Homo-oligomer: A and B are copies of this chain.
Amino acid sequence: MSSALTDLFPLPIVQAPMAGGVSVPQLAAAVSEAGGLGFLAAGYKTADGMYQEIKQLRGLTSRPFGVNLFMPQPEYAESGAVEVYAHQLAGEAAWYETELGDPDSGRDDGYDAKLAVLLDNPVPVVSFHFGVPGGDVLDSLRRAGTLTLVTATTAEEALAVERAGADAVIAQGVEAGGHQGTHRDLAENDGSGIGLLSLLAQVRETVRIPVVAAGGIMRGAQIAAVLAAGASAAQLGTAFVATHESGAPAPHRQALTNPLFTRTELTRAFSGRPARALVNRFLREHGPYAPAAYPEVHHLTSPLRKAAAKAGDAQGMALWAGQGHRMARELPAGELVRVLTAELTAARTALSGPAGAGGEGR
């Protein structure tokens, strides 16, 4: 579709923002230079840390890019639940010879300060995760020349995104690696995650703004699929974790295709909010008991995850991964964009062939 968003970059490929050090400026630059939309992740960073990354990225490319913000979370964890979980994690702290983090290290992720930086130094695109920003925020970004995207995981959430005035909605399927962008984490909705192809059709019929499809996309034929289903572009995360420019630690990259890790699950074990990761020891042992308490649990487990990464122990890390993780390819990010584009073109051509059952001879 021709929209302000998709006119920004020639290929329908968005590199998902991945907080925690994966979406480094080198990665975003490589993707944007190749014709996709590179993304920085402001999550877990200070406003100044974000600004330094934006400056660095601008030194690497003059192409459009995006910055992703986490929405501040209301306080609704059950009183005592975090303490109980901290007690459960005491053995992990002993094992990794570290302390648990302070669960009360701040709950707004520097949202206002980051917005102030982005209004003073506008970037082409800003996306939001974990909720819908106020209409005033979206308006002021628009006046600054910034396009806004907000993640939704249901048709109802997509409607809220459109009504708030965002330029596009990211429809995130349950296949997606890392944090689901669900607007409010309610434990009674566990098990209701919607597959991307079903979500996409529902969102497409609910809103008029452009839709970016996210979740489990690893191949160009899947990009062709989401375009056929009405998306304007595809957002890929896990596919870029394995690229040369990604900032993911080696045990994380290697785990994606390590036959030891056969499946993923949504878990609150690491952050207190449902996020998809490879099933490892930490997830298996603590996932069933982790409370809905974000970002308290994120702060609590942060030193554990750092210590595990330092020790090269994939069994104690948050191995964020989408359901297509085994299809990850170790390539330079720009090369991955080119391969995906060639696959997309091939799938488009095949689909437009004879209209019989299944089209082409695959």
Contacts and interface: CB of A to CB of B under 8 A. Distances in A.
A265 B191 CA distance: 6
Interface in A1-53: 1-3, 6-7, 9-12
A197 B194 contact: no
A195 B325 CA distance: 13
A189 B263 contact: yes
Contacts of A361: 1-2
A346 to B, nearest CB: 10
A323 interface: yes
B227 A351 contact: yes
Given A228-B348, A351-B224, A6 B198 contact: no
Contacts of A266: 191
Nearest to A355: B345
B216 A197 contact: yes
B347 A228 contact: yes
B265 A1 contact: no
A303 interface: no
A60 to B, nearest CB: 22
Top 4 A-B pairs ranked by shortest CB distance? Answer: A198-B216, A352-B352, A195-B195, A6-B357
A108 to B, nearest CB: 30
Interface string A175-217: 1000000000000010110111111111011000010000111
24 contacts: A3-B358, A6-B356, A10-B357, A11-B357, A12-B357, A174-B174, A175-B197, A191-B191, A195-B195, A195-B323, A197-B222, A197-B225, A198-B215, A198-B323, A198-B324, A201-B216, A201-B222, A202-B326, A202-B327, A204-B221, A210-B358, A224-B351, A228-B348, A230-B362
A218 interface: yes
A278 to B, nearest CB: 11
B229 A215 contact: no
A10 to B, nearest CB: 7
Contacts of A173: 195, 197
A324 B226 CA distance: 16
B358 A232 contact: yes
A6 B347 CA distance: 19
A352 B347 CA distance: 10
Nearest to A265: B191
A63 to B, nearest CB: 14
Contacts of A201: 216, 218-219, 221-222, 324, 327
